[in-house]
Structure 1
Amino acid sequence: MSSLRSCGVCLKDAISQLPSPSGANNYKRTGRWQSPQAAIIPNLHLPMRSLELKNRTSTEDIKSLRLITAIKTPYLPDGRFDLEAYDALMHMQIVNGAEGIIVGGTTGEGHLMSWDEHIMLIGHTVNCFGGSIKVIGNTGSNSTREAIHATEQGFAVGMHAALHINPYYGKTSLEGLVSHFEAVLSMGPTIIYNVPSRTGQDIPPQVIHKVAESSNMAGVKECVGNGRIREYTDNGIVVWSGNDDQCHYDRWGYGATGVISVASNLVPGLMRKLMFAGKNTSLNSKLMPLIEWLFCEPNPIGLNTALAQLGVVRPVFQLPYVPLPLTRREEFVNIVKEIGRENFVGERDVQVIDDDDFILVSRY
């Protein structure tokens, strides 16, 4: 009973220290009622700390990556992840020279995953391949709360860096963009992703210059174009091209560090050569028909179709994505022959898959 009384005293003392409602006092002083001010909740987030150095990566390590693949997520016919096919894709990336991987990005259909699935796939990738390639988890969201929570979990399971998009659909002000990114930058190395065609809002340079003051800001995946890339590189900000069709000139003409690529899912060795071996307009021109074909419909429709035709993933599509039509699938076979089957992932002959052989998954 005495302990209960002492707790009661403690609680009474704590309550007495809380600020009294300002409205009552202001009413007495001015004779007019004023609405009470909302309580301001301080940012109590603490950057993660760990004595385990197995997968800890410096921001400078991320800044040096030249070929980063936005990896495809393959599915089983029941809609679950096909981890066997996924691991094979990862192995192909590593042996062909990719230095980093984006897990659960747009290409990997992270927007179709639950957060549990998302974090599980990041953790699986780190556990199996984190010693051979940098694992960058797409933990961005249009909700700052979700972005913080997912990023905490991503770093907890060992990812080396985070990829963050600006809030989409429910767009915010420029000050809101800065606050959103600052809320996640404290947790670890971060790449900011600017793709206005998907978010509906450009991240302008003044926002990037502001958040670049953080030591955890690794750089920008920029999809706006060459001029924007030049502006950043002239100011010492690391940039990766987000456009496969422009990445060669972005790299060798505009100062981009490298590319975050979709095409490297298919031809990682050639994309590495494009990023590492100096200016090569001949190779770039050779790859243009493939890149144009890949983006004839919104990504990842073309990539999913291509990987199925190469026999490295099952022909399973998660709606709302559906395969390219038959004429496009026939075009891909000819493109593979022109570039050379040996340059593509997988070992099976490229084939034209019949409409009836594709599986469309709407729920599971």
Structure 2
Amino acid sequence: MAALLTTNPILSSTDVVSPLRSPLKPFRPAPDSCLRTTRWRSPKAAVIPNFHLPMRSLEVKNRTSVDDIKGLRLITAIKTPYLPDGRFDLEAYDSLMHMQIVNGAEGVIVGGTTGEGQLMSWDEHIMLIGHTVNCFGASVKVIGNTGSNSTREAIHATEQGFAVGMHAALHINPYYGKTSMQGMVSHFETILSMGPTIIYNVPSRTGQDIPPPVIHTVSANPNMAGVKECMGNDRIKDYVNKGVAIWSGNDDECHDARWASGATGVISVASNLVPGLMHEIMFQGKNPLLNSKLMPLIKWLFQEPNPIGLNTALAQLGVIRPVFRLPYVPLPLARRLEFVGIVEALGRENFVGEKDVEVLDDDDFVLVGRY
């Protein structure tokens, strides 16, 4: 640069040489005729249609049809196990998934209430969906819980879930903040545009029922696979009579829902523990005797909010580590003792895992607040 400055009389020592223009042509400002002479105005807002790039059919991994989802009879709301530091225990998760598949589960809900999706970051959520697809997607339908009370978040999570290969999405109605019936319709229609979807109605969790007029409105959407319904078998029967595919969301009602009310099947918590028996309930016809034998286990599971009972049970069976992400804590000792008796009555061979059931002490459990 010093040599250039001494040999080029056009440049002075204070000139800056731009690599984008020749140093032999000094900068000239634009003439006045080129300057803006009108006042700047903000552009008008545009209405953007529902347009989801990740959902182009040729780009989506493991794309499945809505009819493939509608035919599933036993879907397990799979548990998410943890390491002592609160991270996912993928080895235990894979083992639990394998037990579900070999015992006849046709689908799994990943990151649902049972899987504690409410305690996951979205990164964890999508990672676990992708992991499940990559490891087990050829053997079982992977349904990702990508619902949210924010439509924006639900859209983003569902795009990512389908992009990593999930076969269908599970969506709840907006909770806490709630919305109007028309707001529910708009929320679901926006999400249904992305792929096969099961709508989940559980007012005990959301504080708001999804009334039948909303379901009947959105059921016309070709991506509507059906409803996980927790409002009883009368509601289920009414939907079935109108051609809507339904899964019972209540283990204690699923036998009658399937064989008396026409439900397609069940999305089950208990099948984490006894997948073979739940498969028999869903596939082998009416069996009130087996159903009654399962009632003590099912009632025990839900004496505290799910998944507290399930987490405690799987830990005592040695299938997962006794690690809880707060705010969940294990059932008290008296309830843990009850579970041992339930296992003995049903037969240890009907439960997942190979270790003997044991009663864990309070000190055996790890409660994790930061993870």
TM-score, normalised to structure 1's length? 0.90
Matches within 5 A, 1:107-186: 107-186=114-193
SS in 1 for 2:266: strand
SS in 2 for 1:162: strand
d(CA) in 1 for partners of 2:49, 2:368 = 41
Aligned to 1:275: 282
d(CA) in 1 for partners of 2:345, 2:307 = 22
SS in 1 for 2:298: helix
Are 1:302 and 2:309 an aligned pair? yes
Are 1:216 and 2:242 an aligned pair? no
d(CA) in 1 for partners of 2:99, 2:329 = 25
Aligned to 2:236: 229
Amino acid at match of 1:129: F
User: Given that residues 195 and 223 in structure 2 are in contact (C-alpha distance below 8 angstroms), is that contact kept between their aligned partners in structure 1?
Assistant: yes
Q: Render the CA deviation track for 1:310-348: whole Å, top value 9, x for unaligned.
A: 000000000000000000000000000000000000000
Give identity over the alignment, percent: 78
Amino acid at match of 1:188: G
Aligned to 1:41: 47
Amino acid at match of 2:136: F
- Quote how far apart the aligned CAs of 1:45 are: 2.0
Are 1:248 and 2:268 an aligned pair? no
Are 1:321 and 2:328 an aligned pair? yes
Aligned to 2:103: 96
d(CA) in 2 for partners of 1:111, 1:271 = 26
Aligned to 2:319: 312
Matches within 5 A, 1:21-40: 39=45
SS in 2 for 1:245: helix
Across the aligned residues of Structure 1 and Structure 2, the Cα RMSD in angstroms comes to 1.9
Amino acid at match of 1:88: S
Aligned to 1:26: none
Aligned to 2:266: 259
Aligned with residue 193 of structure 1, among 200, 204, 209 = 200
TM-score, normalised to structure 2's length? 0.88
Aligned to 1:355: 362
d(CA) in 1 for partners of 2:138, 2:37 = 54
d(CA) in 1 for partners of 2:79, 2:98 = 13
Q: Render the CA deviation track for 1:199-246: whole Å, top value 9, x for unaligned.
A: 000000000001101000000000000111011000000000000000
Aligned to 2:337: 330
Structure 1 runs of 4+ aligned residues shifted over 6 Å read: none
- Quote how far apart the aligned CAs of 1:120 are: 0.2
How many residues align? The count is 338
- Quote how far apart the aligned CAs of 1:53 are: 7.1
- Quote how far apart the aligned CAs of 1:56 are: 1.0
